Structure formats: structure tokens, C-alpha cells
Amino acid sequence: MDPWIKVNVDAAQLGAKASLALIARDHRGEVTGVWGQCQSINSPLQAEAVALQWAVEIAIREKWQLVMIESDAKAHT
């Protein structure tokens, strides 16, 4: 079986600021990296999208071949 990386992304917004967090685990469930940052963001949906884009950028930088990115974003109607 080829090794893969799963990246969980999350974002929390308060006013015009959002906290973004990523955690990467390998195919055995062992943590391989943790990242966090704050950004100026307009909406919760935008915050989740920025976090997903950031996860892709990290996957490219780390040269991961098999990657699964998971978010818990929910649409509120």
C-alpha cells in the first residue's frame, strides 16, 4: 500500500479575523505536521476556502504524492 497523508483543516471566524488550522497525519495516523495562522477574512465560508487552499499549497511544497484533505465546513441557510 502506498503511504498517504490526510490533512484536516478548520477555520474559526470572529469579526473580520479568522484563525486557520491544519493537521497532517500519515497512513498510520501519526502526526506529520501542524500549522496555524490568523488572517483577515470576510466570511466563514471564505475562511474554510482559504484553509483548503493553504492545505493544497503545503501538500505541493512538501511534495506529498497521495493526499486527502478534509474539512468540516457547513453551509448555513
Residues 1-44: tens digit of each pLDDT = 568 999 999 998 888 899 999 999 999 999 999 999 999 998 88
For residue 75, is pLDDT > 70? Answer: no
Return the sign of the alpha-carbon dihedral for residues 68, 23, 55, 76.
Answer: positive
Sequential DSSP letters for 35-61: EEEEEE-S-HHHHHHHHHHHHHHHHHH
* 76: pLDDT strictly greater than 60: no
Cα–Cα nearest to 10, from 40, 30, 29, 35: 35
State the amino acid at position 9 in one-letter form. V
Q: How far apart are CA 10 and CA 43, in angstroms?
A: 14
Cell of 55: 492545505
pLDDT for res 2: 65
Q: Does position 56 have pLDDT exceeding 80, yes or no? A: yes
